[in-house]
Amino acid sequence: MCEKEISQAVIGRLPRYFRYLGELKEQNVERISSQELSELMKVTASQIRQDFNNFGGFGQQGYGYNVNYLYQEIGKILGLGKKHHLVIIGAGNLGQALANYMNFEKRGFLVCGIFDIKKELIGKTLRGIAIRPIEELEQFIRANDVDIAVLTIPKNGAVLMAEKLVRCGIKAILNFAHVDLNVPEGVQVENVHLSDSLMKLSYNIHKYEENVERANEKGVQ
Amino acid sequence: MCEKEISQAVIGRLPRYFRYLGELKEQNVERISSQELSELMKVTASQIRQDFNNFGGFGQQGYGYNVNYLYQEIGKILGLGKKHHLVIIGAGNLGQALANYMNFEKRGFLVCGIFDIKKELIGKTLRGIAIRPIEELEQFIRANDVDIAVLTIPKNGAVLMAEKLVRCGIKAILNFAHVDLNVPEGVQVENVHLSDSLMKLSYNIHKYEENVERANEKGVQ
């Protein structure tokens, strides 16, 4: 692969391409032009070409892209050829929802352990995976080659838990706690801050209403 | 407020400022310079000043920002002065997790209804909120001035459900279904695609390992 640094904005768009290509593949579509893909995904064809050029362009301009080839290549770039072992920390409703979400496995993300501090949860199973006491976490991560931890615990404990995970050699954290984690370079973090998403919606609702009001006032004048 | 269009990237950063300012307020910090805020939030001071300049800058350069004023102003910009009424559609684990998440209320997002198609769930309550049959959705939205819907149903039903919500006059959708929704202008959507976040982590894990390997090879030569 090329050596130049690819922006996180481009990386962030790859899973969406991958999803659409997977759906096209299921529909037995063999080739697609950037124009057709653009209409389907509601982004400009030039954006698509620019994004793909970061990875050498995937060829075949004019004839369109080979859907299966493109799907495979983007999958490889996303590192989906290799299986990932996940643990979920926090077996509350959110942790349980994620443990039950089969789609992760389809993409090669295998939930192999669930951990909690609550004694009454220990030993229960979710899809055959036992909930274990948090004391076993460190040994479990090392023994099972776990590379990703999903943090679904309250924010109070999350920062210390992240530090512990880093000491255990975890490579990435999907963080649902509403706090920023402090991890060294080389440990990847994706935050899912649901309140932040709601606030963004709130902003956009009000902005839209303001714009409509303003347009109406101008119409009246 | 100013008339120019503010980028969604800037808007997306406002909730994080709001969170940090809230924490500073709780710690009784009265003033903070962009330099101090920059160190705390690990973004550049120039980024902070640029972001704030979109809203007139919030004044007091040199003396630093008044924490409480800045918190209130950003809250106002985010539209948090007004209460929002939410419904959750899908009372599975994820819907239940969200219904139980008290933090939404603190920010003025009130869960007032939960809906599902599964008969065995109807009538159960989550934090005092009854799970209702989906047939009552339309009337409920109109009667309770609901402006935001949280979609936690499988992707098969999500597109049609979004269309129904639009017909009921919903203003915004927080979408957890792994599919893009088709809504008219003026209806706001935020997607939370958890598989996409995992794929991004996967990419960054592999990229980092490649870089380390490459650095090692160069070191050996």
| pLDDT for residue B1 | 45
Percent of chain A with pLDDT over 90: 73
Mean pLDDT computed over every residue of chain B? 91
Per the CB < 8 Å rule, is A199 touching B15? yes
Average confidence (pLDDT) over A132-137: 96
If we measure between CA atoms, which residue out of A109, A124, A117, A127 comes closest to residue A174? A109
* Per-residue pLDDT at B61 exceeds 70: no
User: Of residues B195 and A61, which shows the higher confidence score?
Assistant: B195
Best residue in A204, A210, A211, A218 to probe B by mutation, most B CBs within 10 Å?
Answer: A204
- Confirm or reject contact between B143 and chain A (CB < 8 A): no
CB-CB neighbours of A54 under 10 Å:
17
B-chain residues near A41 (CB < 8 A): 180
pLDDT confidence bin for B2, thresholds 50/70/90: very low
Q: How much of chain B is in helix, strand and coil states, percent to nearest 5?
A: 50, 15, 35
| pLDDT for residue B3 | 52
* Per-residue pLDDT at B102 exceeds 90: no
CB-CB neighbours of A142 under 10 Å:
11
Nearest to B15 among A3, A98, A200 (CB): A200
How many H helices and E strands in chain A?
9, 9
- DSSP label of A83: -
- A and B: number of Cβ contacts within 8 A: 173
* Predicted ipTM of the assembly: 0.90
| pLDDT for residue B107 | 86
Chain A 106-135, residues with CB within 8 Å of chain B CB atoms: 107-109
Q: Are strands A125-126 and A129-133 parallel, antiparallel or unpaired?
A: antiparallel
* Cα distance between residue B14 and residue B219, in whole Å: 43
pLDDT confidence bin for B74, thresholds 50/70/90: very high
Give per-residue burial for A98-107: e unless 16+ CB within 10 Å, then b: bbebeebeeb
pLDDT in tens, A162-181: 999 999 999 999 999 999 99
Average confidence (pLDDT) over A199-209: 93
pLDDT in tens, B177-190: 999 998 999 999 99
Q: Dig out the tokens for B78 from the structure.
A: 């985010």
pLDDT in tens, A52-78: 999 987 876 667 899 999 999 999 999
B21-26 long-range contacts, Cβ below 8 Å, gap at least 24? B21/B67, B21/B70, B21/B71, B21/B74, B22/B71, B24/B67, B24/B71, B25/B67, B25/B68, B25/B71
Best residue in A165, A200, A217 to probe B by mutation, most B CBs within 10 Å?
Answer: A200
User: Of residues A136 and A58, which shows the higher confidence score?
Assistant: A136
| pLDDT for residue A105 | 85
Give the gap in angstroms from C-alpha A57 to the nearest C-alpha of chain B.
Answer: 18
Nearest to A107 among B96, B147, B195 (CB): B195
Pick the range with the lowest mean pLDDT from A19-28, A74-83, A211-220. A211-220
| pLDDT for residue A61 | 61
HSE of A134 in the Cβ direction (CA atoms, 13 Å)? 15
* Cα distance between residue A115 and residue B29, in whole Å: 37
* Per-residue pLDDT at B212 exceeds 80: yes
Average confidence (pLDDT) over A24-47: 93
Q: Chain A residue with minimal CA distance to B215?
A: A3
pLDDT confidence bin for B75, thresholds 50/70/90: very high
Q: Decide if B56 contacts B109 (C-beta within 8 A).
A: no
* Per-residue pLDDT at A215 exceeds 60: yes
Give the gap in angstroms from C-alpha A34 to the nearest C-alpha of chain B.
Answer: 19
| pLDDT for residue A3 | 52
* Cα distance between residue A124 and residue A120, in whole Å: 8
Average confidence (pLDDT) over A21-41: 94
* Per-residue pLDDT at A2 exceeds 50: no
Residue given tokens 């550049």 in the structure block: B44
User: Of residues B176 and A100, which shows the higher confidence score?
Assistant: B176
